[in-house]
Amino acid sequence: MNNLNRITLLGNVGSEPKTRSSPAGKQATWLSLATNKRYKDEAGEWKTRPVWHQVAVYGDSASYAAKIKPGALVFVEGEMTYREYEREIDTAAGPVTIQWPVAEIVAFSISAINSDRRDKGGAAA
């Protein structure tokens, strides 16, 4: 049986995208994306709360994603990934290095729906 790891999101960018380049010149951009979760509270009233997602965009699409403004509505397709990196934290006994887990969506494509970043075609793939 084949497996499938595919995420599709439509939401708003939360803050300025952050971009880095590797020594080899490859570009990567990270952005936060908010989707809305609707639910009924204990009194039966409908409520909405944001659900935040971390999105990583690599390659040619990274430069496109870097220009998307906070608040813009974007459509993202990608896959869920998990990784860890070493992070130093301060404790009462002194600094300690720990493995810090990160869950993020690696985008296959990202398209701004309503922003100042509407190029012809409006999408990066």
Residue 115 has a CB neighbour count (10 Å cut-off) of 17
Domain assignment present for residue 96? The answer is yes
Does some domain include residue 124?
no
User: For residue 113, what are its two tokens?
Assistant: 């729906």
How many structural domains is the chain composed of?
1
| Residue 125 lies inside a defined structural domain of this protein | no
Nearest C-alpha neighbor of 117 from the set 76, 71, 56: 71
Residues of the chain with pLDDT under 70: 114-125
The parent domain of residue 23 ranges over 7-114
CATH code, domain carrying 106: 2.40.50.140
Contact yes or no for 96/49 (Cβ under 8 A): no
pTM of the model: 0.77
Within a domain: residue 76? yes
pLDDT for 22 equals: 83
Residue 121 located in a structural domain:
no
Strand residues in the chain grouped as ranges (E):
7-13, 18-21, 27-40, 46-58, 73-91, 94-114, 123-124
CA atoms within 13 A on the CB side of 82: 4
Output the pLDDT for position 85: 86
| Model confidence pLDDT, tens digit, residues 47-61 | 999 999 999 999 989
